[in-house]
């Protein structure tokens, strides 16, 4: 019984460390992607200021921006970090 308790504690410690690493990776990835998305605003501003720029392209851009932001939020809010949950959080619904 003593060895079982030690084994379970070690497993819990490993899982806890995996979650910490995942969260740190998500914070870093979130930072990089948000910087990238902010930089893409220049594209949007330029497109809006360009005469005869097709508005449907801007609509596609806006839809994609919303989708990316939702996926980033979904990845960052996973409570039970498993490979399946990670994949499900960004899968098309």
58 with 45: CB under 8 angstroms?
A: no
The per-residue pLDDT for 10 is 93
Confidence grade of residue 56 (pLDDT, cut at 50, 70, 90): very high
User: What whole-number percentage of the chain has pLDDT above 70?
Assistant: 99
Q: Which two tokens stand for residue 32?
A: 């990089």
Q: Provide the 3-class DSSP secondary structure of residue 88.
A: helix
User: What whole-number percentage of the chain has pLDDT above 90?
Assistant: 29
Crossing angle for the helix pair 83-90 and 55-76, to the nearest 10 degrees: 160
User: In the predicted model, what is the mean pLDDT of residues 43-70?
Assistant: 90
Between residues 76 and 9, the one the model is more confident about: 9
The per-residue pLDDT for 93 is 67
Q: Provide the 3-class DSSP secondary structure of residue 82.
A: coil
Q: How far apart are CA 16 and CA 83, in angstroms?
A: 15
The per-residue pLDDT for 19 is 85
75 with 83: CB under 8 angstroms?
A: no
């Amino acid at each position: 019984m003593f060895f079982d308790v030690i084994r379970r504690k070690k497993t819990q410690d490993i899982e806890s460390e995996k979650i910490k690493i995942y969260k740190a990776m998500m914070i870093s990835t979130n930072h990089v992607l948000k910087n990238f998305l902010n930089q893409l605003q220049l594209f949007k501003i330029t497109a809006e200021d360009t005469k005869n720029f097709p508005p449907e392209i801007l609509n596609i851009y806006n839809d994609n921006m919303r989708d990316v932001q939702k996926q980033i939020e979904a990845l960052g809010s996973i409570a039970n970090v498993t490979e399946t949950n990670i994949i499900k959080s960004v899968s098309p619904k």
